[in-house]
Amino acid sequence: MSEYLLRLYITGRTPRSERAIANLHELCERELAGHYHVEVVDLLECPELAAADQILATPTLIKQLPQPVRRVIGDLADIEKVLVGLDLVSLPGGASGR
């Protein structure tokens, strides 16, 4: 299994940010079984990083490794959509998903 490098951008420790962090850690433990590294970036503390990764909304999760880079925006509550968005699973029935 590949090692995953994930970066989660948040804006402060809001309830939505905390949900995204918790959902991400749960997803990683369940699906990636220790083959991951998560970095949480609070844009209130490091605003210059928003421009570098073109962050327009938070929370935003970026899968940096393995390639290709993938993004998911939101609190990551819909695990199936997050898995598809990060290219960890395919949509059932092909690209359309239906």
DSSP letters for the chain: ---EEEEEEESSS-HHHHHHHHHHHHHHHHHTTT-EEEEEEETTT-THHHHHTT--SSSEEEEEESSSPEEEES----HHHHHHHTTSSPPTTSTT--
pLDDT digits (tens, 9 = 90+) for 40-55: 999 999 999 988 889 9
**What are the residue ranges spanned by the domains of the chain?**
4-85
Homologous superfamily in CATH for domain 4-85: Glutaredoxin (3.40.30.10)
Report if pTM > 0.85.
Answer: yes
Burial zone of 49 (CB within 10 Å; 0-12 exposed, 13-18 middle, 19+ buried): middle
Rounded-to-integer distance, Cα 79 and Cα 87, Å: 12
pLDDT digits (tens, 9 = 90+) for 43-90: 999 999 988 889 999 999 999 999 999 999 999 999 999 999 988 876
